[in-house]
Homo-oligomer: A and B are copies of this chain.
């Protein structure tokens, strides 16, 4: 049977943006919000036709996302969204914690009052989005919060790796958020900001790890992952 037609959310093509970049952004976004089911083969011609460009930019975008481990290249040379397993998920979570705690450590000395204000502003908008139940925005703003924190360090070498992990967790995180709790969780971002103000590395690590675990492990991960895997999202671990 033929696979369902590929549907990609249309991202506006920025002025002076190359087709390459546009295709890359579109595919990346699609993967991140999980509209492409894991295991669904992404063929060059298919994506090209869907986005209305030639094969060339698609090839480079697919290759790029593969390098970032957002897509998997099979032996067949076919490309798909990687399937998730319970153990891979666990590894990704632990890796995310290790990476982000390290990034926070290295950013801490550079965090200025301005930066703190910016983080607070993002957090406010995040709370609003959370209260309004706008899932996609919650994800985006949460990532913004973390990204802007780590970017306080002017010598950025960690951020690209963190983005890679986010991409790999992306499809599933989005699913987890779909069962977003009504009640607020403990505000780990506030704790993190307090730690930043006190220049307290240990407290910062603790707050971040708790924040990540809250967002991932705590939201009924086990059941969610099980449902995800069983719905054809991936092989059994």
Q: Which residue of B lies closest to A101 (CB)?
A: B98
Fill in one digit per residue for A154-185: 1 if any B CB lies within 8 Å of its CB, else 0: 11111011001100100000000000000000
Indicate if the CB atoms of B88 and A155 lie closer than 8 Å.
Answer: yes
B87 touches A155 (CB 8 A): yes
Chain B residues whose CB sits within 8 angstroms of the CB of A60 once the complex forms: 59-60, 63
Q: Contact at B95–A102, with CB atoms within 8 Å?
A: yes
Q: Please indicate the chain B residues that have their CB under 8 angstroms from the CB of A155 in the complex.
A: 85, 87-88, 90-91
In the complex, the answer to whether B91 meets A157 with C-beta atoms within 8 Å is yes
Min CB distance A17 to B, Å, is 12
A157-B95 contact given A67-B67, A68-B67, CB 8 Å threshold:
yes
Main secondary structure of the interface of A (DSSP, over half): helix
B64 touching A157, Cβ below 8 Å: no
Would you give the shortest CB distance from A128 to chain B, in whole angstroms? 33
How many residues belonging to A are interface residues under a CB distance threshold of 8 Å? 31
Tell me if A203 is interfacial: C-beta within 8 Å of chain B: no
A51 and B149 alpha carbons, distance in the complex (Å): 43
Q: Which residues of B contact A83 (CB under 8 A)?
A: none
* Bound CA–CA A114/B96 (angstroms): 30
Q: Give chain B residues whose Cβ lies under 8 Å from the Cβ of A230.
A: none
Q: Does A92 contact B (CB under 8 A)?
A: yes
Docked CA distance A155–B85 (Å) = 9
Q: Which residues of B contact A168 (CB under 8 A)?
A: 157
Q: Does A69 belong to the interface (CB within 8 Å)?
A: yes
Q: Is A94 an interface residue (CB 8 A)?
A: yes
A106 in the interface (beta carbon within 8 A): yes
Nearest chain B CB to A57's CB is how many angstroms away?
11
20 contacts between A and B (CB under 8 A): A59-B60, A60-B60, A63-B63, A63-B64, A64-B66, A64-B67, A69-B157, A88-B157, A91-B153, A91-B156, A91-B158, A92-B157, A94-B102, A94-B106, A95-B102, A98-B98, A99-B99, A157-B165, A157-B168, A160-B164
